Structure 1
Amino acid sequence: MTARTPEERHDGHRGGDGYGVPDGHGHRPGGAGPPDGPHADGPGPLIGRSVPRKEDPRLLTGRGRFVDDLTEPGVLHAQFVRSTVAHGEVTALDLDAVRRVPGVVAAFDATDLGLGDITARLHRPPEEFTETAMPVLARRRVRYIGEPLAVVVARDPYAAEDGLEAARVAYDEREPVVSEAAALADGAPLVHEAAARNTLVDVAPFATEGIDDVFAAAHRVVRVEARTGRQNALPLETRGALAHWDDRAEQLVLRTCTQVPHQVRTVAAGCLGLDERAVRVVVPDMGGGFGLKCVVGREEIATAAAALRLRRPVKWIEDRKDALTASFLAREQHYDVRAAFAADGRILGLDADIVCDMGAYSCYPFTAGIEPLMAAAELPGVYRVPAYRVRGRAVTTNKAPSAPYRGVSRPQYVMVMERLFERAARELGVDAVELRRRNLITDFPYTGINGITYDPGSYRESLDLCERTLREEGWYERRDAAAAAGRRLGIGYACFNERTGYGSAAFAQRRMDMVPGYDLAEVRMDPGGAVSVTTGTMSHGQSHETTLAQIAADVLGLDLAKVKLHQGDTDRVPYGWGTFASRSVTIGGSAVRLAAERLGEKLRRLAAARWDVPWEETELHRGTVRRRDVRDTEVPAVPYAELAALAHFRAHLLPKDLEPGLTATASFDVFHDGTFSNATHGVVAALDEDTGGITLLRYVCVEDCGVAINPQVVEGQCRGGIAQGIAGALFEQITYDERGEPSATGFLDYKVPTAQEIPDITLFHLETPCASNATGAKGVGEGGTIGAPAAVLNAVNDALRATGTELDTLPVTPEAVHRALHGA
């Protein structure tokens, strides 16, 4: 199976089967193919076209409505009293003075609100997982600086801040645990008494029999010990919530910026002692999430509790200091990995020890296992690894807790694997790109040593095209000329895959208490022929209003303007798992497609009844249903609006087997290992001899996400992800002093790259469609972030090759480069 570039697709579309799948590349189940119809800027299929984003007119003209734009009559404003120590017992919490501050309406601690805990679970034996409850508001114990202790509610945000200043908290401080090494040291203080050696997760899922013999007999064994820094996902919009009690509906209505509205509903109902029916979660426009918002936060639950208690609207908006210090963080990981190689460069075995610093608590619903379980399961990646042993641990420390962040461990373990190949190439005396070629998976489907089956991808093709591009542009000659002139220029690559479309079967392997996977969709046509689509996914910048509408419109042959997407309302969407893990188009989009096909069948059955022919003899055509055997005016096609009016207004004329109205629902799940996007990134980096500064001169990305529903949206995802990956490689990090005080409280301390630091990015798209879902698409949301750190680090090390020094810690700082350049 060979992937194709867009230029190689025949007649400008995604293939010849009508579904956008290139010939010979699999199929999509269901239906007879989308009809021709008037779409956006002309007739023809919508799938594969960069139609303008439906969201843009609203968002680019300032008419978007985010949580901070919302209000209610008589709204109150909340802020949180937060711990000023990293580890200690709360000996006194006095809020009396707070309540006397002008403008303050109320102040509540955990006892006042009677809140339950947020508890995420894995169904694993005690030696593999330790359950730890995260109280909505801390009671007797605090475990990180910034942990919420009480909520202050006032008439305006300024009075709420004044109230915080009046709070009096006394602590019996304990020694904080501020690093992975300290957490695992003998006799270390325990962050949670239940967690021996401060370990929340300790798994060893793979250990090939005889692996020690493999390493003993290997021609060469290389080792990489790598560390990555703690990061903040840094969505443009910080977290926030607006809650009020609706007497008429007998519901607590919580408007919040979350990727997982139904999970927030579940936790809010549990913590507040309400039926889930009595909690409605609504998500307005959202300014980014990146995984930070796909877990349930404490503050949104406490805000809802205050609104319920006061029976008044309460609003909380997180400031940037709290977002950097007290929100969910990610990425702090330590890898110690060995790889065994044969004399011909074949990898023989992989032996890994992975430790992830997950902070003070398990996040809900994924738990502290989110990072080590991902890394341990998928470390081998795109390479044929015949023997594998791994141990993955999540340790708890006195830092803000961790949550998923775009890529979830894959930027880290891909960086480690690519460093292993670079190091092995130097020791074996072969070209590093050629060494990758010798080990890439090329025969599909391929079941790896980790038990995961990989569907077809373009691993070799993407690597070849990326390398060819940089060679043809002359970067290898420029690198050699720079070296001869005493300047430092380096070229680095990263070759990787990204498992996307995790279904219930894949998530069940983690043994979570809540098992995500499937999604639901409803497609409904109104009496005038316009269509509403509801889905359980949740857009926070991925253009769902466009891409999912493209899928429905393509099936039905409708103009894109006739289709409107609705999501993020737990009363309107029966259930959904939200958006994370690059699942929205692969799973949510498949559900939308199947529902649209069912609606199309209903339209055809209505028309068939009029003509008294089998419905199979009809077809959809440009907003109408027509007879397949009659293509002239003898039997005119019937417009959708006419059929919709019949279904809604004249139910007595409907066939007995058709119900009134035009609504269709569908679900979609993946009962296998998911599908794999893949890519190769190539980077050219220059080092400054005097300052150690790093400048990225060139960036090439060759990606394959299957069928691109909207190529422009795909490119946006890639570019944004690459920018975040570069940020983690070179700039962003939160460190802690010995007291557990975080180093970064604002953008003066937390280094965020600007457009000046991000190079021009050239993107190439290959297409190996997924044959096991209804869209042919694979996920693309995280790939840019996954490949960038490894490619950047390899480019820096290539530029350092004459020094004999290699760097294996991210972010790569100018100080580290300067020391390497000058032999320090």
Structure 2
Amino acid sequence: MGARTDPMNDQHTGPSTPPAPADPDRTATGAEPDGPVVRGDPPVSEESTSRDRGPRFDGARGRWVGASVPRREDPRLLAGRGRFVDDIQLPRMLHAGFVRSTPAHARITSVDLKATREIDGVVAAYDAADLDLGDIVALLDRPTEEFSPTAMPILAKDKVRFVGEPVALVVGRDPYCVEDAIEAAVVTYEAHDAIVSEDTALAAGAALVHEEAPGNVLLDVSMFDTPGVDDAFDAAASDGCVVEVLTRTGRQNALPLETRGVVAAWDDHDEQLLVQTCSQVPHQVRTVLARSLRIPERMVRVTVPDMGGGFGQKCVVGREEIAVAAAARRLDRPVKWIEDRREALTAGFLAREQRYRSRAAFDAQGRITALDVDVVCDMGAYSCYPFTAGIEPLMASAEMPSVYRVPAYRVRGRAIATNKAPTAPYRGVSRPQYVMAIERLMERAARELGLDPVEIRRRNVITEFPYTGINGVTYDPGTYRESLDLAEQTLREEGWYELRERAAAEGRYLGIGYCCFSERTGYGSEAFAKRKMQVVPGFDISEIRMDTTGSVVVTSGTMNHGQSHETTLAQIVADRLGLDIDKVKLRQGDTERIVYGWGTFASRSATIGGSAVSIAAARLGEVLCDIAAHLLQTRPDQVRLDGRGGVVQVDDPSRRISFEDIADVAYLRAHLLPKDVEPTLSATASFDVPGDGTFSNATHAVVVETDPGTGQVRILRYACVEDCGVVIHPKVVDGQCRGGIAQGIAGALFEEITYADNGEPSAASFIDYLVPTATEIPDITVSHLETPCAFTENGAKGAGEGGTIGAPAAVLNAINDALRHTGVELDTTPVHPQTVLAALDGAPERDTPRPPQKASSPA
């Protein structure tokens, strides 16, 4: 039980050899710096340095952070040892399914479950009256003329509002008898007119989706009507240009590989309901579940096993999970529900259906002088919890100016209710849409003024930081101009401009498109509070504990669903403590173990969660140093974390002590501790991004070829130049970029759910919902610039959503460039082949000469 080595002995080595330090003068792709590569430790305040950063840590930056170490998750997942919700099998477990609405808009006149209950193997069947659960209500602190709160019942009560809405819950011995029992249910309806479009929703005298939402408007907010908007448009009409675009984006499904699911069981011993589910926000699920069942939160424990993707769809609270948990408590038996793909496509949370009517004024030099936008977001039948139906129009309104200097701005944002499945956040949340709108304005103005599309961006992009925009948002330093220049340089040096001209001479339709954008990441409490949410996300909490072997377990309120948190957060901790990464274990997704957490969404894990674990690790390091100084009989300011595998030492290399030996004293020989040090090696920290948060940025450059005979669009080249601050794990970041771009391409060219006039969704399987395969996604190159963030502990900015944000605009711009000689311009996504053919059929001329363009002048 004694110490394994003499505390005064220097015979200690780490369990494995760390990777070579990342070269601070090389980009994350391994290339030598060329131009605007920013390196070095992130700037921090003097207070932060002395209190949190652990001044006694002697490890160089890049020992673990910046290295593409093997992912900790891979051995388990690749060997098939991952544990997902559907893998969970419990004794006496039952299975659940839902009777779902067939009409899109109707009053329920009766629910007859008699035949359902008589099916062999059925244990129970419940309608809304049987379960008697509270509603889910998401609120904004806004006046009634701006926001109309609406309730989402766990099971539909008097009315159904979209095809697929859950009306009754069936529980049986196996999924097969449950399916039979669902077919036996008899629900009668009194049908109403279905509201399936913006025009029908806002028409005078339209049927109401919710009586509480007059005119089918859930949110109507006018913002930033700054002085000078009308004057700028008047001036541009006489000396410059005024351009207007009407952009629309199709309704999409986030399409995580693992659909939603839950296993719920009541534990008599702990008097607690254990809910295992695939959620990005387990603490929010616990809160809503406890309130719906009217029990204290201590009686609910939510855990998340491995999760096969979320993309935002799982960062809201679903009603099916609540109903299943209620049934498990009532039956005192475990109950499982797994969403099938048809349910996921038709009745799961959807996203993206938006319309932007945008006008911009430009002076004769191509500088934007005013922006006037009207935004309408079709949010479907209900507000999601906790973000509400305001999430998309509020995001768009607040951030529409994007990376450009806009001196005058006016915007109106509306969320409307329709008889469609409700909307939840989906990777990017309105940014792919508003970025597409403003990027189309840039393209249109470039054409009107005879400017090169890159040059007009160059004249308008923000270059001085920090920059406070007309929207009141302060943008921290980034590489907006540099990423644009490097993206253009890449395509020019590869010869794509010459190939485009040769292709035109051969009668081929080749086009080049760009998109320059920023991504606000790591929204803190201050940023979310500006939306006037009643439930305000933001902070994260981390706890770290060291055991007698010198290993640590660290908790985080973030939630991994494919982002490699087990690896990247361990890298941060290992660097802070000078510890081998193999000695760091991450725990997430358990409301009993995690004090509180907001989960993972909005690219917050590295920025907020990573900062919390970093501070907690630094505080543990302080405790280790205090104990080591006492054992080494020196002052605390004379020792430091060595950074070579878990050692504290003084300047004399012969005087050092391992973490194991410190832990041995702390737990097993506590009488040797200093009098003011408790016998424990643990620390807790919270972190919240101040102010407006931090902004990653990128430029996407795309080359496409469009076939005028078939309308098919083929992507020939895709280049991404991005800046997400300090890159913790280059391959993980590249994977995030490429995955996001694939989803952005999907929205640009393939995926869309439409509705018939009666509210019937068009896509109930992958036969109708077109998902791109590896054949349709091109090779994607990712180049990294690096501007360390001043607000986060590790210098990182978020990297989770940028790929999705930039792809639709870049692809659409490239398509329009390919069609430049036809007179056709497309402003709606997805661009299906039939869309291209219809546009070409209606084009006035196919040989319209391309307008002259002033030469681009990259810096």
> In which range does the TM-score fall when normalised by the shorter chain?
over 0.9
Cα offset, 1:44, TM superposition: 6.5
Count of aligned residue pairs for this structure pair: 809
Alignment match, 1:163? 181
Instruction: Letter of the 2:91 partner, please give it.
Output: P
Give how far 1:26 is off: 2.5
CA distance in 2, matches of 1:604, 1:6: 28
- Structure 1 residue aligned with 2:737: 718
2:718 equivalent among 688, 691, 699: 699
Cα pair distance change 1:538/1:795, threshold 3 Å: same
Q: Contact (CA 8 Å) 1:180, 1:357: kept in 2 or not?
A: yes
> Which residue, out of 451, 458, 462, partners 1:437?
458
Identify the match of residue 679 of structure 2 among 625, 646, 660.
Answer: 660
> Are 1:57 and 2:75 matched, yes or no?
yes
Is 1:519 equivalent to 2:537 in the alignment? no
Structure 1 unpaired stretches of 5+? none
SS of 1:779 mapped into structure 2? coil
Residue-by-residue CA offset, 1:611-647 (whole Å, 9 max, x unaligned): 332212111122344443322x2x3x11101111111
Q: Distance in 1 between matches of 2:23 and 2:671?
A: 50
CA distance in 1, matches of 2:175, 2:523: 41
Match of 1:409 in 2: 430
1:236: how far off? 0.1
SS at match of 1:72: coil
Match of 1:344 in 2: 365
Give yes or no for the alignment of 1:317 onto 2:341: no
Residue 475 in structure 1 maps to residue 504 in structure 2? no
* Residue 603 of structure 1, aligned match among 609, 614, 624: 624
> Which residue of the partner structure matches residue 789 of structure 1?
808
Matched, 1:120 2:138: yes
Q: Find the residue that maps to 1:436 and give its secondary structure.
A: helix
Determine if contact 1:14/1:22 at 8 Å carries over to the other structure.
no
- Contact 2:27–2:785 under 8 Å retained in 1: no
Please state whether the residue corresponding to 1:207 is helix, strand or coil.
coil
Deviation of residue 8 (structure 1)? 3.7
1:11 deviates by: 12
Q: Is the 8 A contact 1:91 1:170 kept in 2?
A: yes
1:499–1:12 CA distance, 2 compared to 1 (3 A): closer
The residue type equivalent to 1:429 in the other structure is G
**Offset of residue 10 of structure 1:** 9.3
State the shift of 1:114 in Å. Answer: 1.3
Deviation at 1:763, TM superposition (A): 0.8
Query: Contact between 1:685 and 1:799, CA under 8 Å: does it hold in 2?
Result: yes
Find the aligned partners of 2:500 and 2:23 in 1 and give their Cα distance: 31
1:788-815: per-residue Cα shift (whole Å, max 9, x none)? 0000000000000001110000000101
Residues 540 and 598, structure 2, Cα contact 8 Å, conserved in 1: yes
Matched, 1:22 2:44: no
- Are residue 774 (structure 1) and residue 796 (structure 2) matched? no
- CA RMSD for the aligned pairs? 1.8
* Aligned residue identity for 1:156: D
Q: Identify the residue that residue 590 of structure 1 maps to in structure 2.
A: 611
2:263 pairs with 1:224: no
Partner residue in 1 for 2:205: 187
The aligned counterpart of 2:389 is 368
| Residues in 1 aligned to 2:447 and 2:193: alpha-carbon distance in whole angstroms | 44
Return the alpha-carbon distance in structure 2 between the equivalents of residues 229 and 21 of structure 1: 38
1:65-464 mapped onto 2 (5 Å cutoff): 65-218=83-236, 219-464=240-485
For residues 58 and 253 of structure 2, the distance between their equivalents in structure 1, rounded to whole angstroms, comes to 46
Cα displacement (A) at 1:671: 2.1
Distance 2:397 2:184 in 1: 47
1:437-478 per-residue CA deviation (whole Å, 9 max, x = no partner) reads: 000000000000000000000001100000000001000001
Residue 837 of structure 2 corresponds to which residue in structure 1?
A: 818
Aligned runs of 1:627-776 on 2, under 5 Å?
627-631=649-653, 633=654, 635=655, 637-776=656-795
- Note if contact 2:57-2:641 (Cα within 8 Å) is conserved in structure 1: yes
Distance of 2:90 and 2:824 partners within structure 1: 60
Native 8 Å contact 1:256 1:283 kept in 2: yes
CA distance in structure 1 between the aligned counterparts of 2:474 and 2:286, rounded to whole angstroms: 35
Per-residue deviation, residues 506-537 of structure 1 (Å, max 9, x unmatched): 00001111100000001110111111010000
Is the 1:78–1:154 Cα contact (8 Å) retained in structure 2? yes
Matched AA of 1:367: T
What is the distance in 1 between the residues matched to 2:500 and 2:842? 21
- Letter of the aligned partner of 1:724 in structure 2? Q
Q: Is the 8 A contact 2:543 2:555 kept in 1?
A: yes
Query: What is the distance in 2 between the residues matched to 1:725 and 1:227?
Result: 15
Give 1:146's aligned amino acid.
G
Residue 747 of structure 1 deviates from its aligned partner by 0.1
Which amino acid is 2:144 matched to? P
Q: Quick one: distance in 2 between partners of 1:234 and 1:729?
A: 15
- State the alpha-carbon separation in 1 of the partners of residues 40 and 769 from structure 2: 49
Counterpart residue identity of residue 771, structure 1 = A
- Return the offset for 1:181: 1.1
Deviation at 1:32, TM superposition (A): 4.3
Cα separation, 2, equivalents of 1:623 and 1:525: 14
SS in 2 for 1:546: helix
Q: Which amino acid aligns with 2:109?
A: T
Deviation track 1:584-619 (CA, whole Å, cap 9, x = no partner) reads 000000000000000011111111111332212111
CA distance in 1, matches of 2:363, 2:170: 64
Query: Is the 2:740–2:804 contact (alpha carbons within 8 Å) kept by the matching residues of 1?
Result: yes
Q: Is the 8 A contact 1:14 1:48 kept in 2?
A: no
| 1:804 aligned residue | 823
Structure 1 distance, partners of 2:287, 2:200, is 36
Partner of 1:488: 509
Q: TM-score, normalised by structure 1?
A: 0.96
Whole-angstrom distance in 2 between the partners of 1:816 and 1:624: 61
Whichever residue aligns with residue 96 of structure 1, its letter is: K
Q: TM-score, normalised by structure 2?
A: 0.92
2 CA distance for matches of 1:160 and 1:624?
A: 55
Contact 2:476/2:694 (<8 A) preserved: yes
Looking at structure 2, the residues matched to 371 and 10 of structure 1 have their Cα atoms a distance apart, in angstroms, of 35
Q: Would the alpha carbon gap of residues 702 and 33 (structure 1) be closer, same or farther in structure 2, given more than 3 Å must change?
A: farther
**CA contact 1:6–1:766 (8 Å) conserved in 2:** no
Question: 1:24 & 1:547 partners in 2: Cα distance?
Answer: 18
Instruction: Determine what percentage of the aligned residue pairs are the same residue.
Output: 67
SS, match of residue 111 in structure 2: strand
Q: Deviations over 1:114-147 (max 9, x none)?
A: 1000000000000110000000001111000000
**Paired residue type of 1:376:** S
Amino acid at match of 2:662: L
Residue identity opposite 1:114 in structure 2? D
- C-alpha displacement of 1:689: 1.7
Provide Cα deviations, 1:253-275, integer angstroms capped at 9, x if missing partner: 00000000000000000000110
Distance 1:174 1:772 in 2: 52
Closer, same or farther: CA 11–672 of 1 in aligned 2, 3 Å: closer
The yes-or-no answer on 1:559 pairing with 2:590 is no
8 Å contact 2:690–2:791 — kept in the other structure? Answer: no
SS for the counterpart of 2:263 is strand
Counterpart contact for 2:368–2:406, Cα < 8 Å: yes
Contact 1:74 1:313 in 2 (8 A): yes
Secondary structure of the corresponding residue to residue 376 of structure 1: helix
Deviation at 1:6, TM superposition (A): 7.8
Contact 1:488 1:688 in 2 (8 A): yes
- The answer as to whether partners of 2:557 and 2:588 remain within 8 angstroms in 1 is yes
